Amino acid sequence: ENFFTQNNDFLDKKIMITLGPTQEAIDPVRYISNQSSGKMGLAIANAFKARGAEVFLVAGPVTLPINSGDFHLKKVKSAAEMYQSAQKLHAQMDFCVFAAAVADYAPAEVATEKLKKDDSQMSIALKKNVDIALELGKAKRPGQVHVGFALETEKEEFYAKGKLDKKNFDLIVLNSAKEAGAGFQHDTNRVKIIHRDGRMTDSGLALKSDIAELILDEIKNAPVWI
Ligand code: CTP
Ligand code: CA
């Protein structure tokens, strides 16, 4: 048991966490999605709950054991639905953690009937989805803390810092896709936590539950940027 888990340092704070992938419908039986398991987001949710917070989850389709008694849980499928739910909660939150792997694009049109096979090739026109963290970042009020995630395969710190600035995050959790034992389906991970002032903490390879505690410690110590 981690030393920090029960000390109620987030007592009565309101936390919103987006987590999991989104599903973008192609037709009634098909969708575009990604490999996010939602494990890191749930580990953060459990850590906040254990430290006294009231936690609001906006979850894409995940197969995780979410203890519904511990959280306010809104289940969504598409990025548009996730945005709608997150937007409703946003103003009342003290902390927002954007852990979802939101699909960047969705089919421009959803077919009402199942698509039939035809030629040897086919293509689907895609339109850009709403950027949930970016839009809510514009609405961030004084004192509110926004935490972002970034998964990169190259120029990791450069891209992560760009997202930190662009989306008005207070800190960003950088996942390297190349790290052994880290990533979507594992119970372990390795992250770098980057603050607005450039300060960086490396978790080393660790259990997602321990990384969650570290992220909460970093959130608590973050200077709040307006
Ligand atoms: N995010 C979001 N809504 C989106 C896309 C991303 O809220 N439509 C959030 C993610 O939850 C994460 C952060 O923005 O906290 C960065 O997501 P990422 O996919 O790494 O960045 P993108 O801005 O989508 O850039 P790219 O995928 O091109 O690297
Ligand atoms: Ca993306």
Predicted model pTM? 0.94
**Mind listing the pLDDT tens digit for each residue in 104-130?**
999 999 999 999 999 899 999 999 999
Cβ < 6 Å from ligand 1: which residues?
18, 79, 98, 100, 102, 104, 129, 131-133, 148-151, 163, 167
**Mind listing the pLDDT tens digit for each residue in 78-89?**
999 999 999 999
Of residues 13, 16, 17, the one with CA closest to residue 220? 13
Choice among 7, 34, 168, 175 that is catalytic:
34
Confirm whether 110 is domain-assigned.
no
Confirm whether 50 is domain-assigned.
yes
Distance of alpha carbon 47 from alpha carbon 5, whole angstroms: 7
Domain, as residue range, for 133 = 14-105+123-221
CATH code for the domain in which residue 63 is found = 3.40.50.10300
Q: Is 140 annotated as a binding residue?
A: no
* Exposure b/e, 130-152, CB count within 10 A at least 16 = b: ebbbeebbeebeeebbbbbbbbb
Confirm whether 136 is domain-assigned.
yes
Q: Is the pLDDT of residue 226 over 50?
A: no
Confirm whether 180 is domain-assigned.
yes
Chain Cα centroid distance, residue 219: 15
Which residue's CA is the closest to the ligand 1 atom numbered 18? Answer: 150
Structure tokens at 171: 């800190």
Q: Is 166 annotated as a binding residue?
A: no
Which residue's CA is the closest to the ligand 1 atom numbered 9? Answer: 133
CA distances from 78 to 34, 58, 196 (A): 12, 11, 30
Quick check: ipTM above 0.85?
Answer: yes
The closest ligand to the CA of 41 turns out to be 1
Domain count, the chain: 1
> Which atom of ligand 1 approaches the CA of 100 most closely?
11
The closest ligand to the CA of 148 turns out to be 1
